């Protein structure tokens, strides 16, 4: 059974940090590009950061550049999103998702087009209090 499970969300104060994990089961992530997306209440799904299947390429949306870091450990079948300097506007449900080579070579790795990502986790809530 193909499954992605996000964890690491929670309540944090402004300026704090969280590390999200996306653990895959039922398949190996080394064949896939992985993205982190978020959806705030009443808003659409937004691509936050994406990483190529060999971790040689990454993409960050402008609002998180310099604060968030995406990484992957193919041996552990897990992708991470380190979030530092959190702001209230980062509050959202965060999802991870996989994409095949349709996004290979794209400058944004398909991050701005969530429809290109196929398998999705259930999400983890991140709340940043001011």
Q: Tell me, what DSSP letter sits at residue 87?
A: -
What pLDDT score was predicted for residue 105?
87
At residue 69, what are phi and psi to the nearest 5 degrees?
A: -135, 125
What pLDDT score was predicted for residue 54?
80
Q: What is the pLDDT of residues 25-53, one digit of tens each?
A: 999 999 999 999 999 999 999 999 999 99
Q: Is the CA virtual torsion 20, 61, 88, 95 positive or negative? A: negative
């Amino acid at each position: 059974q193909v499954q992605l499970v996000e964890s690491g969300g929670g309540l944090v104060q402004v300026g704090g940090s969280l590390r999200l994990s996306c653990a895959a089961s039922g398949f190996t992530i080394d064949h896939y590009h992985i993205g982190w997306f978020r959806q705030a209440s009443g808003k659409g799904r937004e691509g936050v950061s994406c990483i190529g299947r060999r971790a040689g390429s990454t993409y960050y949306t402008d609002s998180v550049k310099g604060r968030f870091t995406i990484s992957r450990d193919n041996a552990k079948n897990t992708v991470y999103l380190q979030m530092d300097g959190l702001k209230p506007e980062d509050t959202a449900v965060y999802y991870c998702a996989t994409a095949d080579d349709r996004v290979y070579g794209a400058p944004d790795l398909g991050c701005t087009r969530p429809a290109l990502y196929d398998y999705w986790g259930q999400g983890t809530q991140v709340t940043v209090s001011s």
